[in-house]
Chain A
Amino acid sequence: MTTPQDVREEIVSTVRRFVEREVMPVASELEHRNEYPHALVKRLKELGLFGATIPQEYGGLDLDVTTYAMVVEELCKGWMSLSGVLNTHLMLAFMLKTHGSDEQKRRYLPGMASGEHHGALCLTEPHAGSDVQRIRTTAVRRGDDYILNGSKMFITNARSATLYAIAAKTDNKIDPPYKGISMFVGEKGPGLSVGRDLEKLGYKGIETCEVHMEDYRVPLTNLLGGKEGQGFFHVMSGLEVGRINIAARAVGVASAAFHQAIRYAQQRETFGKPIAEHQAIQLKLADMATKIEAARLLTYAAADKKDRGERCDVEAGMAKLFSSETCLEVATEAMRILGGYGYTNEFPVERYYRDAPLMIIGEGTNEIQRLVIAKQLLQRHKI
Chain B
Amino acid sequence: MKILVTVKRVPDPNASIKVKPDGTGIITDNLKYVVNPFDEIAIEEALRLKEKSGGAEVVLVSVGSKTAQEQLRTGLAMGADRAILVVAEQELDSLAVARIFHKLVQDEKADLVLLGKQAIDDDANQTGQMLAALLGWPQATFASKTDSLESEAEKSGTPGIQISGGAAKVVREVDGGLETLELPVPAVITVDLRLNVPRYASLPGIMKARKKELKELAIDSLGVDVKPKLKILRLDPPPKRQAGRKVGSVQELVQALHNEAKVI
**Contact indicator B203/A48 (Cβ below 8 Å):** yes
- Check if A61 sits within 8 Å of B73, measured CB to CB: no
Tell yes or no: B254 within 8 A of A by CB.
no
- Residues of A45-104 at the interface with B, using a CB-CB cut-off of 8 Å, are 46-49, 51-52, 56, 61
B179 beta carbon closer than 8 Å to chain A: no
Interface residues on B, range: 10 to 19
Does A6 reach chain B (CB closer than 8 Å)?
yes
If over half of B's interface residues share one DSSP class (helix, strand or loop), that class is named, otherwise mixed; here it is: helix
User: Judging by beta carbons under 8 Å apart, are A4 and B210 in contact?
Assistant: yes
The one of B70, B200, B210 in contact with A14, judged by C-beta atoms closer than 8 angstroms, is: B200
Please indicate the chain B residues that have their CB under 8 angstroms from the CB of A61 in the complex. Answer: 203-204, 207
Cα separation A303 to B204 with both chains bound (whole Å): 22
Over the window 186-204 of chain B, the binary record of Cβ atoms lying under 8 Å from chain A Cβ atoms (1 yes, 0 no) is 0000000000000011111
Instruction: Name the contact of B77 in the complex, choosing from A10, A17, A46, A51 (C-beta under 8 A).
Output: A10
Residue of A nearest to B69 (CB): A6
Number of A-B residue pairs having CB atoms within 8 Å of each other in the complex: 38
Q: A4-B210, A7-B210 are in contact. Are A47 and B203 (CB under 8 A)?
A: yes
> Is A373 positioned at the interface, with any CB of B under 8 Å from its CB?
no
Output the nearest chain A residue to B32 by Cβ-Cβ distance.
A13
| A40: Cβ under 8 A from any B Cβ | no
> In the complex, how many angstroms separate the beta carbon of B30 from the nearest chain A beta carbon?
15
Q: Is B202 a contact partner of A46 (Cβ separation < 8 A)?
A: yes
CB distance from A19 to the nearest CB of B (A): 12
CA–CA, A15 to B77, complex, Å? 14
Q: Is A343 an interface residue, CB under 8 A from the partner?
A: no
Is residue B74 within 8 Å, beta carbon to beta carbon, of the partner chain? yes
Which residues in chain B, 38-74, are within 8 Å of chain A measured between CB atoms?
70, 73-74
User: B206 near A: Cβ within 8 Å?
Assistant: yes
From residue 224 to 248 of chain A, which have CB atoms closer than 8 A to chain B?
none
**CB closest chain-B residue, reference A21:** B200
Q: How far is the CA of A46 from the CA of B206 in the complex (A)?
A: 13
A48 close to B200 (CB less than 8 A):
no
Quick check: A7 and B207 within 8 Å, CB to CB? yes
Complex interface: chain A residues within 8 A of B204 (CB): 48, 51, 61
CB of A358 within 8 A of chain B?
no
B210 touches A49 (CB 8 A): no
Decide: B203 and A6 in contact? CB cutoff 8 A: no
A46-B73 Cα distance, complex, nearest whole Å: 19
Q: What residue in chain B is nearest A8 (Cβ atoms)?
A: B206
- Distance in Å from the Cβ of B51 to the closest Cβ of chain A? 16
Q: Is A36 an interface residue (CB 8 A)?
A: no
**Given A4-B210, A61-B207, are A10 and B200 neighbors across the interface (CB < 8 Å)?**
no
Query: What is the minimal beta-carbon distance from A326 to any residue of chain B, in angstroms?
Result: 24
Given the complex, which residues of B lie within 8 Å of A49, measured CB to CB? Answer: 203
- Leading 5 A-B pairs by shortest Cβ distance: A48-B203, A48-B204, A10-B206, A48-B202, A61-B203
Residues of B within 8 A of A (CB): 70, 73-74, 77, 200-204, 206-207, 209-210
List 14 additional contacts besides A14-B200, A14-B203, A61-B207; criterion CB under 8 Å. Answer: A6-B73, A7-B207, A7-B210, A10-B70, A10-B201, A10-B209, A11-B203, A15-B203, A18-B200, A47-B202, A47-B203, A48-B203, A49-B203, A61-B204
Query: 7 A–B contact pairs at CB < 8 A?
Result: A7-B206, A7-B207, A10-B74, A10-B209, A11-B206, A14-B201, A47-B203
